[in-house]
Amino acid sequence: MIVTTLKPLLAKNRSWALQRRERNPDYFDAYLHQQKPHSLWIGCSDSRVPAEVLTGSHPGELFVHRNIANMVVAQDDNFMSVLQYAIFYLGVKRIVLCGHYGCGGVQAALSLPDSPLAGEDSPLARRISALRNALQEGLSDYRASEAEESDKLNRLVEANVLAQFAHLAATEPVRQAWRVGQALDLFGCVYDLQSGHLKELIQQSAEEPSP
């Protein structure tokens, strides 16, 4: 029987905290009583895409929401509460929607209706089905393309970012912020697991037409 403990994580945590205090004794004081992040990050739950690590951000700089395949679902109370809180209570100036190449959620959506998830009534199955519906145009391009499989999958990941970005720009909190003149820019990016680089796909501000 394998027994798992938190000891390795706790040890790394203590080491990290010690290193931060040695470099800057006031490191943890800056956001001790409040947070003022400059950006909301909407990303995939994939463990290989940690927002703070890949952007070199410190505590207090990013307000983060992650879910399967970085989806924007207006009926998701969890997502919408994060979005509303970030815009109107934290006053973020930027929202970054980030997908990543090799996304398992996108690949699962591609495999429907032949996936074991097909016909299953579970939160994961419903989420993947919703993702496939959002990717209908991208799936058509995928089938028509004669490119290498990896390139086709990468394009489908990018198509998902663009589809979710359109959903984000249409949400009521975003539209409301733009109506009252609140500074808020949206960015759609994709993360390359192989290079560690972010690639910007799309950007929108209040004065621009909806995508």
pLDDT digits (tens, 9 = 90+) for 49-93: 999 999 999 999 999 999 999 999 999 999 999 999 999 999 999
Cα 70 to the center of its chain, rounded Å: 4
How far is it, in rounded angstroms, from Cα 67 to Cα 63? Answer: 14
Confidence bin at 44 (pLDDT 50/70/90): very high
For residue 152, give both structure tokens.
């086709």
Phi, psi of 186 (to 5 degrees): -110, 140
Choice among 14, 21, 48, 126 that is catalytic: 48
Is the pLDDT score of 205 beyond 80? yes
Choice among 44, 65, 127, 132 that is catalytic: 44
For 45-49, 133-137, 188-192, which range has the lowest pLDDT when averaged over its residues?
133-137
Let me know if 44 is a catalytic residue.
yes
Let me know if 14 is a catalytic residue.
no
Choice among 65, 98, 103, 127 that is catalytic: 103
pLDDT tens-place string over residues 93-119: 999 999 999 999 999 888 876 666 666
Smallest Cα–Cα separation from 64: which of 41, 93, 98, 37?
41
Choice among 100, 127, 132, 189 that is catalytic: 100
Q: In the prediction, which pLDDT does 192 show?
A: 97
Let me know if 100 is a catalytic residue.
yes
- With beta carbons less than 8 A apart as the criterion, state whether 37 and 92 touch: yes
Q: In the prediction, which pLDDT does 210 show?
A: 46
